[in-house]
C-alpha cells in the first residue's frame, strides 16, 4: 500500500489520475478539538487493480502541499467521486476555497436509485461490490502517527470499493434518465453558501421556548459572540460556552465579573479573560438593542405554524406512496418540517421545486387544494382525481 508523503509524489499521482475518466476520493479528519475539521488523511484511487492505483496521502507531513490535488479537482475532464461528500467538501473549501468539479456523490445517487433513506457506504459495498468491510478503525485517532496497518486498510477500502459503486450507479442513472436529479442536489453541495456560517444567524440553532424578545436579543448577541470567537480561535463552540450556559446567561443578564461568577453552568475558563469580557459585552448589546431590532420567536419557530394535522398526515401518505412508486428516498424529497409547512399553507418549501415537484410537489399541491384523494388498495395506496 502506497502512502504519499511528498508534493512531488502527489503531483505524479495526480498527473496519472488526470488521464482517467474518474478518481475516487475520501478523507479522514478530526473535529473534536477544533471548530474547523483537521484533515488527517486523503485517500485516492483510479480505475485499475495495481498497487499504485490506490494511494493514501498524508497531509500532516511537514512540507507536503495539496496543490497538485487541488489542480486535479479543478480539472473538469475528470469526475471526482465521493460518498457523503458534504464534510469532505467543507474541508477543501475552508482549506483552499476549491470544490471538486465535476462531482459525483454516491450517497445522493444511491438515494435516487432506490437504495432507500439510509444509503450508507457499508450498505453499498455489501449490495453492489458484494465485499465485506472491517469498520473497527472508524473511530480511531487519525492524527496519530504512525498509522496502523488496520487503519490503512480501512482507509483505502473507502476508495477502492467506491470505484465499483460509482460505475454501477452511473450506469443506473444513465438508464433511468435521473442524472439531472443528482446534478440538482450536487449544485447545493458545491455552493459556498452551504458551508458559510454567519455568526449573526447562530442564535437560530438555539432551542428555547421563550417568547421574550429581549431574552432572544441577548441570546442572539451571545450566540454571535460565541460563533465569532470559536471561528477566529478555531475551537469548538461548546468550548467557549455550551447552549445551556448561554441560555442561562440570557436569563440572568450578568453585568459584571461578579455577576458572571454566579453562573451555575458556565465553564471555568469562560469566567475570566477574553471570553468573560465578550460575554459581558454581548449581554450589554442585547440589553441596549432597539426594540424594533429585537428578534421574535416567530423568526425561527416552525412550531408556530397553523398546521392542519389531518392534511399533514395525508401528505405523509402521499410522499410514501410516490417514493415507493419512483424508488427514491423519502428524505431526499421532503422532511417532516416541509410537510408540516405545506399543511400550514406555506409554498416556499424545496419539495415544490425542480425534480421534486415532478415526483411529489405538484401532486402535494393538488392534494392540499382538494383536487386529489388517496385510497388504500391492498398493500398499496392509490391516488386519484376528485
Tell me the pLDDT tens digit for each residue of 257-285. 999 999 999 999 999 999 999 999 999 99
What digits encode the pLDDT tens for the residues 1-32? 899 999 999 999 999 999 999 999 999 999 99
> 300 pLDDT exceeds 70?
no
Q: Tell me what pLDDT residue 117 has.
A: 86
Average pLDDT score over residue span 76-95 = 97
Cell of 32: 473534536
How many domains in the chain? 3
Q: Tell me what pLDDT residue 114 has.
A: 93
Do 249 and 181 lie in one domain? The reply is no
Judge contact between 43 and 158, C-beta under 8 A.
Answer: yes
Do 66 and 135 lie in one domain? The reply is yes
> 299 pLDDT exceeds 70?
no
Domain contains 304: no
The domain containing residue 376 runs over which residues? 309-385
Q: Tell me what pLDDT residue 138 has.
A: 81
Q: Tell me what pLDDT residue 10 has.
A: 98
- Work out the burial of residue 30: count CB atoms within 10 Å of its CB; fewer than 13 is exposed, 13-18 middle, 19 or more buried: middle
Residues 200-232 as b/e (b if ≥16 CB within 10 A, e otherwise) read eebbeebebeeeebbbbbbbbbbbbbbbbbbee
* Domain endpoint, select from 194, 214, 231: 194
> 56 pLDDT exceeds 80?
yes
Domain contains 36: yes
Q: Tell me what pLDDT residue 304 has.
A: 61
Average pLDDT score over residue span 172-183 = 96
Do 278 and 344 lie in one domain? The reply is no
> 118 pLDDT exceeds 80?
no
Average pLDDT score over residue span 338-343 = 95
Q: Tell me what pLDDT residue 224 has.
A: 98
Do 107 and 206 lie in one domain? The reply is no
Domain contains 205: yes
Q: What percentage of the chain carries pLDDT values higher than 70? A: 98
Average pLDDT score over residue span 92-121 = 95
| 121-130, 210-219, 341-350, 371-380: range with lowest mean pLDDT | 371-380
Q: Tell me what pLDDT residue 26 has.
A: 98
Do 28 and 168 lie in one domain? The reply is yes
The radius of gyration computed from the CA coordinates of the chain, to the nearest angstrom, equals 25
CATH number of residue 320's parent domain = 1.10.150
Backbone angles phi, psi at 164, to 5 degrees: -70, -40
Do 225 and 340 lie in one domain? The reply is no
Do 134 and 277 lie in one domain? The reply is no
Average pLDDT score over residue span 145-163 = 96
Q: Sorting pLDDT into bands at 50, 70 and 90, what band is 305?
A: confident
Do 132 and 203 lie in one domain? The reply is no
Q: Tell me what pLDDT residue 221 has.
A: 98
Do 178 and 234 lie in one domain? The reply is no
Q: Sorting pLDDT into bands at 50, 70 and 90, what band is 206?
A: very high
Q: What percentage of the chain carries pLDDT values higher than 90? A: 89
Do 107 and 156 lie in one domain? The reply is yes
Domain contains 261: yes
Q: Tell me what pLDDT residue 258 has.
A: 95
Q: Tell me what pLDDT residue 303 has.
A: 47
> 301 pLDDT exceeds 70?
no
Do 328 and 361 lie in one domain? The reply is yes
> 378 pLDDT exceeds 90?
no
pTM summary value: 0.90
Domain contains 22: yes
Residue position matching grid coordinates 508534493: 7
CATH number of residue 174's parent domain = 3.30.420.10
Judge contact between 251 and 215, C-beta under 8 A.
Answer: yes
Give the distance from CA 361 to its chain's centroid: 23
* Nearest residue to 159 (alpha-carbon basis) of 115, 189, 129: 129
Q: Tell me what pLDDT residue 297 has.
A: 73
> 81 pLDDT exceeds 90?
yes
* Nearest residue to 214 (alpha-carbon basis) of 280, 289, 303: 289
Do 63 and 164 lie in one domain? The reply is yes
Q: Sorting pLDDT into bands at 50, 70 and 90, what band is 302?
A: very low
**Cis bond before residue 121 (omega within 30° of 0):** no
* Domain endpoint, select from 297, 323, 346: 297
Domain contains 61: yes
pLDDT, the chain, mean = 94
* Domain endpoint, select from 244, 275, 297: 297
H-run or E-run covering 372: strand 372-377
Amino acid at each position: 500500500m502506497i502512502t504519499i508523503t511528498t508534493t512531488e509524489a502527489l503531483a505524479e499521482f495526480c498527473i496519472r489520475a488526470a488521464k482517467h475518466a474518474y478518481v475516487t476520493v475520501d478523507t479522514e479528519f478530526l473535529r473534536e478539538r477544533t471548530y474547523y475539521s483537521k484533515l488527517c488523511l486523503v485517500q485516492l484511487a483510479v480505475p485499475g487493480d495495481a498497487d499504485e492505483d490506490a494511494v493514501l496521502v498524508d497531509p500532516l507531513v511537514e512540507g507536503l502541499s495539496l496543490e497538485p490535488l487541488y489542480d486535479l479537482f479543478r480539472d473538469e475532464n475528470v469526475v471526482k467521486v465521493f460518498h457523503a461528500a458534504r464534510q469532505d467538501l467543507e474541508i477543501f473549501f475552508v482549506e483552499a476555497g476549491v470544490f471538486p468539479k465535476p462531482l459525483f456523490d454516491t450517497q445522493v445517487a444511491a438515494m435516487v436509485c432506490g437504495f432507500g433513506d439510509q444509503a450508507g457506504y457499508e450498505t453499498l459495498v455489501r449490495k453492489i461490490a458484494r465485499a465485506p468491510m472491517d469498520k473497527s478503525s472508524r473511530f480511531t485517532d487519525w492524527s496519530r502517527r504512525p498509522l496502523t496497518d488496520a487503519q490503512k486498510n480501512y482507509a483505502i477500502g473507502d476508495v477502492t470499493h467506491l470505484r465499483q459503486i460509482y460505475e454501477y450507479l452511473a450506469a443506473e442513472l444513465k438508464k433511468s434518465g435521473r442524472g439531472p436529479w443528482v446534478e440538482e442536489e450536487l449544485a447545493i453541495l458545491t455552493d459556498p453558501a452551504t458551508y458559510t456560517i454567519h455568526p449573526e444567524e447562530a442564535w437560530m440553532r438555539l432551542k428555547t421556548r421563550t417568547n421574550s424578545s429581549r431574552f432572544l436579543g441577548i441570546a442572539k448577541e451571545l450566540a454571535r459572540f460565541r460563533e465569532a470567537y470559536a471561528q477566529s480561535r478555531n475551537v469548538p463552540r461548546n468550548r467557549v460556552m455550551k447552549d445551556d450556559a448561554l441560555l442561562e446567561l440570557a436569563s440572568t443578564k450578568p453585568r459584571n465579573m461578579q455577576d458572571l461568577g454566579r453562573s451555575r453552568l458556565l465553564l471555568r475558563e469562560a469566567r475570566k479573560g477574553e471570553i468573560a469580557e465578550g460575554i459581558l459585552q454581548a449581554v450589554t448589546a442585547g440589553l441596549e438593542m432597539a426594540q424594533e431590532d429585537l428578534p421574535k420567536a416567530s423568526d425561527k419557530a416552525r412550531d408556530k405554524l397553523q398546521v392542519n394535522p389531518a392534511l399533514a398526515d395525508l401528505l405523509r401518505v402521499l410522499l410514501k406512496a410516490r417514493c415507493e412508486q419512483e424508488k427514491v428516498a423519502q428524505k431526499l424529497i421532503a422532511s417532516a418540517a416541509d410537510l408540516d409547512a405545506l399543511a400550514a399553507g406555506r409554498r416556499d418549501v424545496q419539495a415544490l421545486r425542480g425534480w421534486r415537484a415532478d415526483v411529489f410537489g405538484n401532486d402535494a399541491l393538488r392534494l392540499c387544494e382538494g383536487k386529489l384523494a388517496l385510497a388504500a388498495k391492498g398493500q398499496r395506496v392509490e391516488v386519484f382525481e376528485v
